[in-house]
Amino acid sequence: MTQNGTAVRLTGVCKTFGAHTAVDDLDLAIEPGTIYGLLGPNGSGKTTTIRMMMGILLPDGGSVELFGGAPDFGRRSRVGYLPEERGVYEKMKVLDQLVFFGEIRGLARSLARARAEKWLERLGLTEWASKKVQTLSKGMQQKVQFISTVLHDPELLILDEPFSGLDPINQDVLEEIVLEEKERGKTILFSTHLMEQAERLCERVCLISRARKVLDDDLKELKRRERTGVVAVEFDGEAPRIAWPEVLEVEQVGDAFHLSLDDGVRPEEILGAVLAEGVSLRRFELLEPRLHEIFVRHAGDPGDDDSVQPAGGAS
């Protein structure tokens, strides 16, 4: 499927609820065919942002564009939206519910049924097809809802905390599906407070904290830029004495030594120096920061929003 133009664009978007500012002057753009992560601690404004993209909330200021226009009825139907607070008809049977959602999204009844059955099988829910939704566990209900999100094969998936509440096995299945959809040319936006998930999946991330954007960048680019100049080295046999002027600090982590390099020192220079010692080298790696560390560096600990410093102070 080919897509032209930006899938989602937010420009200077603000939203307040009474005295509480939920989203403050947010700009972001999601290019088609990418996986975009909206990251931030609980209560940082992720869900509010997503609800504005879906036209459920109207921004107090700024503009929200979906496929280059207002998030109106026609454009919303091109999106598969998985809300954070799961909404299901509890008393309906699983398959009936999926067929209904497929139908109102424009699928013929028979097609909706066929696709729903295929998805149920893939997610291991076939035997639950004729059970009422309320008899399913929370995790299973979430899978049912995910199916209703993708059933009409939308070009953009907006998933609000899609992994929370799933066991590791189902998280893996979901990750696999997300990657597959991307391969098929779909655009995927998901929000999460789990940095590891984002790190594995996203091409681009937007970090928000306390209603404000902290970072918004290509993930690889971000990691390169955020490199701290630490090199991990491991040796076979005895380690040499590490005392080069370029190395500011040495920390032993298990068998490895983490060398903090002085500003402007290139890793190759150290590699040369190490090899010159004549030892046998097992590992030499330029350490990349975890997304978690980057986030903490810019906005404080994402696990605890109260400790977050004013985001305006971040670069």
The residues of the shown chain that bind another protein, judged by CB under 8 A, are: 51, 54-57, 73, 76-77, 79, 81, 83, 85-92, 96, 100-101, 103-106, 148
Q: How many CB atoms lie within 10 A of CB 73?
A: 8
- Of 106 and 310, nearer to another protein (C-beta) is 106
Report the nearest approach of another protein to the CB of residue 48 (Å).
Answer: 11
What is Dmax (Cα atoms) for the chain?
Answer: 73
Q: CA 60, CA 53: separation in Å to the nearest integer? A: 13
Report the nearest approach of another protein to the CB of residue 159 (Å).
Answer: 13
Q: CA 282, CA 299: separation in Å to the nearest integer? A: 36
Q: Which amino acid makes up residue 74?
A: G
Report the nearest approach of another protein to the CB of residue 87 (Å).
Answer: 4
- Of 55 and 289, nearer to another protein (C-beta) is 55
Residue bearing tokens 């700009």? 27
Report the nearest approach of another protein to the CB of residue 308 (Å).
Answer: 25
Q: CA 82, CA 165: separation in Å to the nearest integer? A: 14
Q: What does the DSSP assignment read for 162-231?
A: -STT--HHHHHHHHHHHHHHHHTT-EEEEEES-HHHHHHH-SEEEEEETTEEEEEEEHHHHHHHT---EE
Report the nearest approach of another protein to the CB of residue 45 (Å).
Answer: 16
Report the nearest approach of another protein to the CB of residue 208 (Å).
Answer: 21
- Of 132 and 290, nearer to another protein (C-beta) is 132
Cβ pair 77, 106 in contact under 8 A? yes
Cβ pair 67, 5 in contact under 8 A? yes
Instruction: Provide the phi-psi class of 176: left if phi over 0, else alpha when psi is between -120 and 50, else beta.
Output: alpha
- Of 96 and 246, nearer to another protein (C-beta) is 96
- Of 63 and 89, nearer to another protein (C-beta) is 89
Report the nearest approach of another protein to the CB of residue 76 (Å).
Answer: 4
